Amino acid sequence: MRPLTRFVYRGWLSRPGRTLLAIGGVALGVAVLLAVRTANFSAIEAFGRTLEMVAGRADIEIFAEGDGSFDGREFARFTRMPGVRSAAPVYTLAGQVGDSLRGVRLLGVDMARDSQMRPWYSAELREQDDYLAPFTQPRSVLMTPALAEELGFEKGDRFLFHHAGILDTLTLLGLLRGEDVSIAQTRDIMVMDLPRAWELEGHMGRLHRIDLLLKPGVDVNEAAEAIRASLPPGMRAEVAGWKRPQAKKMLASFRLNLTALAFVALLVAGFLVFQTVATTALERRKNAGVLRSIGASKGFIRRMFLLEGLWLGVAGSVVGIPLGLLLAKGAVDAVTRTVQSVYLLETTAQLFLTWETILSSAFLGIVVSLGSVWPLALEASRVPPRESMSRQVLEDRMRPRKLALFGALILLLAAILTRYPFKAFPVHSGYATSALYILGVALVTPWLLGVLHRIINLLIGWRLGSALRLGLSVLVRSRHRITPAIAALATAVAMWLSVDMMVRSFRLTVDTWVRGTITADLIITTEGGMSVRKDILLPLEAFTNLQGAPGIEDVDHFRTARVPYDGLPTTIAMVDMGSVHRQQRLHFASTIRDESPTEPIVRGEPACLITEPLAFRADLSPGDTIHFPTPSGPAALRITGVFYDYSSDAGMVLVDRPWFIEKWQDDRIESIAVYIPDSLSLAEGRLAIRRALPKDVQVEIFTNNELRSSVLETFDNTFAITYALEAVAIMVALLAVGGGMASLVAERRRELAILRSMGGSKVQLMKRVLFESGLIGAIGWGLGSALGVVLSIVLTFVVNRYSFGWSLALIVPWGQIALSGGLMVAAALLAGAVPAVHASRIPVAQGVRVDSE
Partner 1 sequence: MKRFLLLLPILIFTTTSASAQDFKRPAPGYEWSFPRDHANHSDYAVEWWYFTGHLLPEGADPDDMENWINLELTFFRNSLPGEGSGELYFSHFATSGNGQPFAYGEAIARGILGEAGSDDNMMKVWLDAWEASLIDTTFVLEAYDDDVGGIRLTATATTTPVLHGEDGYSPKGPGDAEASYYYSLPFIDATGWYLPGADENATSLEPIKVTGRLWMDHEFGNQQLGGGLVGWDWWGLELPGGDALMFYRIRRGDGEAIPQSEGTFIGRDGRRERIHLDQITIEPTGSWTSEASGATYPFGWSMTIPSKKIELNVTPLYEDQELRTDGSTRVTYYEGAVEVTRKGVEGSTLGFVEMVGYDR
Binding site for partner 1 (CB under 8 A): 72-73, 75-76, 79-80, 87, 89, 110-113, 129-132, 135-138, 193-196, 199, 205, 207, 215
Eight-state DSSP code of residue 363: H
The residue (of 79 and 390) whose beta carbon lies closer to partner 1 is 79
CB of 128 to partner 1, least distance (A): 9
CB of 664 to partner 1, least distance (A): 36
The residue (of 109 and 495) whose beta carbon lies closer to partner 1 is 109
Give residues with Cβ within 8 angstroms of 289, minimum separation 6.
Answer: 380, 383, 385, 386, 387, 388, 389
Type and span of the H or E element at 358: helix 355-382
The residue (of 75 and 374) whose beta carbon lies closer to partner 1 is 75
CB of 166 to partner 1, least distance (A): 17
CB of 243 to partner 1, least distance (A): 26
Q: Which residues of 328-355 are buried (b: 16+ CB within 10 A; e: fewer)?
A: bbebbebbbebbeebbebeeebebbbee
The residue (of 25 and 134) whose beta carbon lies closer to partner 1 is 134
CB of 135 to partner 1, least distance (A): 5
CA distances from 839 to 395, 513, 529, 767, 850 (A): 22, 56, 72, 10, 17
CA–CA dist 267, 741 (Å, integer)? 20
The residue (of 195 and 330) whose beta carbon lies closer to partner 1 is 195
Q: Specify whether the CB–CB gap between 644 and 613 falls below 8 A.
A: no
Burial of 664 (0-12, 13-18, 19+ CB in 10 A): middle
The residue (of 195 and 760) whose beta carbon lies closer to partner 1 is 195
CB of 220 to partner 1, least distance (A): 18
The residue (of 113 and 691) whose beta carbon lies closer to partner 1 is 113
Type and span of the H or E element at 671: strand 671-675
CA–CA dist 302, 281 (Å, integer)? 11
Give residues with Cβ within 8 angstroms of 205, minimum separation 6.
Answer: 71, 72, 73, 198
The residue (of 74 and 333) whose beta carbon lies closer to partner 1 is 74
Cβ-based neighbour number of residue 414 at 10 Å: 22
- At residue 819, the 3 state secondary structure works out as helix
CB of 108 to partner 1, least distance (A): 10
CB of 164 to partner 1, least distance (A): 20
554-565 and 671-675 as β-strands: parallel, antiparallel, unpaired?
A: antiparallel
The residue (of 130 and 154) whose beta carbon lies closer to partner 1 is 130
> How many residues are there in the chain?
853
How many helical (H) and strand (E) elements, i.e. helices and strands, does the chain have?
A: 29, 21
CB of 81 to partner 1, least distance (A): 8
Give residues with Cβ within 8 angstroms of 312, minimum separation 6.
Answer: 22, 23, 26, 276, 277, 280, 369
CB of 578 to partner 1, least distance (A): 46
Q: Specify whether the CB–CB gap between 44 and 254 falls below 8 A.
A: yes
The residue (of 37 and 206) whose beta carbon lies closer to partner 1 is 206
**Dihedral sign for Cα atoms in the order 771, 772, 775, 776:** negative
The residue (of 197 and 414) whose beta carbon lies closer to partner 1 is 197
The residue (of 76 and 460) whose beta carbon lies closer to partner 1 is 76
The residue (of 81 and 239) whose beta carbon lies closer to partner 1 is 81
671-675 and 522-526 as β-strands: parallel, antiparallel, unpaired?
A: antiparallel
**One-letter identity of residue 696:** D
Beta bridge partners of 525: 700
CB of 257 to partner 1, least distance (A): 36
CB of 121 to partner 1, least distance (A): 15
CA–CA dist 302, 305 (Å, integer)? 5
Cβ-based neighbour number of residue 127 at 10 Å: 8
CB of 163 to partner 1, least distance (A): 18
